[in-house]
A = this chain, B = another copy of it.
Amino acid sequence: MTQPETTPVINILIIDDHRLFNDGLRAMLADAPDITILGQIYHSRDALSQVRQLRPRVLIIDFNMPEMDGLELTRLLLTQHPQLCILILSMYGESRYIDDFRKAGALGYMLKTSTKDELLTAIREVARGNTYFDPKLADQKQFSNHADDTFLKKYKLSPREVEIIRLIKAGLSTPQIADKVHLSPYTIETHRKNIYAKLGISTVAELVRFAVEVGI
């Protein structure tokens, strides 16, 4: 991390057992003039020796790796090479995974659904010692802080409806919710009906997915 920022070329190692993905990344990054792929690793067990030998600046590591998962590998590599800039590519957007990797010392974490440009940005940021935690995921967290006002407007949900959604999402049954808010179960059922109609859905699963997605 104390590397001079005048280094013009970013030396990268890609670690992913999915060879097609690994090779695809290489091909995709081939035309970036400030990026050099020093090598590709298909097995986590080769990581240490290759890092020692090739001395990359940035490591792109897949979240899921057989034998040793991405988190464990990240920890191990950073223990021995604390100057490494690690960027994680993942299918999972959940904050607990992001936090795990952040704590382990990874500088970046992004989804595989991201674009090439986003990947290039991420690589450049972490190469500079900055962090790059996918903005799309950060937005999701911030978004949840202003949940109620937004949904009152966008989905025409009332405060009471938002409250009921929260309780359903938490796994409470209609009678349990009725108990909690001191209303009749019939009232709760009516709210559910109204919520479903407003959102155009018809099952708890859909409702919970919605609630999680929009941060209620």
Contacts and interface: CB of A to CB of B under 8 A. Distances in A.
Given A64-B150, A89-B20, A215-B93, A205 B25 contact: no
Q: Sort chain A's interface into a size bin.
A: 35 or more
Contact of A19 (B26, B115, B202): B115
Given A30-B27, A204-B205, A20 B69 contact: no
B116 A146 contact: no
A115 B23 contact: yes
B201 A19 contact: no
A113 interface: yes
A21 interface: yes
A124 interface: no
B25 A20 contact: yes
A119 interface: yes
A95 to B, nearest CB: 9
Interface in A141-170: 144, 146-147, 149-150, 168-170
B66 A149 contact: yes
Contacts of A91: 18, 215
Contact of A27 (B17, B27, B94): B27
Given A66-B144, A113-B18, A92 B30 contact: no
B208 A146 contact: no
A21 B146 CA distance: 14
A28 interface: yes
A213 interface: yes
A23 B28 contact: yes
A203 interface: yes
The 10 A-B residue pairs with the shortest CB-CB distance in the complex, in nearest-first order = A24-B24, A27-B27, A18-B112, A27-B28, A92-B215, A208-B208, A171-B205, A171-B203, A171-B206, A204-B204
Interface of A: 17-21, 23-28, 30, 42, 64-66, 69, 89, 91-94, 96, 112-116, 119, 144, 146-147, 149-150, 168-173, 201-209, 212-215
